Amino acid sequence: MSNAAEESVERFCDGCSCSQAVLSSYADRYGLEQTVAMRIAAGLGGGLGRMGGTCGALTGAALVLGLENGSPDRTDKLAKEATYDAVAELQRRFSERHGSTLCRDLLQHDLSIPQQYLEAKALDLFKTECPAFVETTVEILDDLLQ
């Protein structure tokens, strides 16, 4: 496991959401304050607001790829395409490894349904499954950042 993956998994296990764990692990690299990174990623966990959509680790990584490849110039189409391409590749590789990019598929529970969310918690899925999704995401992200 890479240092960044280890750090992200540790942050996740210490209470960060999946998206917060990923983004905050890269914040210093881009001059982003930790408190700002945590707030930016706060609503992305559980597949965007616990709705079971795209895994929060992936959305956190997409923010990192935006910091890496994006441009403050809204007319910079090359930077936009580079970011889109990197995010698409991240999702493709993740899906190859785990079969989906959707939280509801990965956990086999739809977190937007209260009973399924409670069942996922009771089964400790956030502790037994999610760390691997964070690790995979960061390993792919590190490769894309090289």
Looking at the domain assignment, is residue 133 inside a domain?
A: yes
Looking at the domain assignment, is residue 145 inside a domain?
A: no
Task: With H, G, I as helix, E, B as strand and everything else as coil, classify residue 102.
Answer: strand
Looking at the domain assignment, is residue 146 inside a domain?
A: no
Range of the domain at 89: 3-139
Query: By CB neighbour count within 10 A (0-12 exposed, 13-18 middle, 19+ buried), where does 88 fall?
Result: exposed
Residue 24 CA to residue 99 CA, distance in Å, equals 26
Tell me the per-residue pLDDT of 111-135, one tens digit each, with 9 for 90 and over. 999 999 999 999 999 999 999 999 9
Degrees (nearest 5) of the Cα angle 45, 41, 117?
A: 15
Looking at the domain assignment, is residue 74 inside a domain?
A: yes
Model confidence pTM above 0.85: yes
Asked if 140 contacts 15 with a C-beta cutoff of 8 angstroms, the reply is: no
The domain tally of the chain equals 1
Looking at the domain assignment, is residue 124 inside a domain?
A: yes
Q: Average pLDDT per run of 10 along the chain, which is 146 residues long?
A: 92 98 97 98 97 98 98 95 98 99 98 98 98 98 97
DSSP structure string for 46-84:
TTTTTSS-B-HHHHHHHHHHHHHH--S-TT-HHHHHHHH
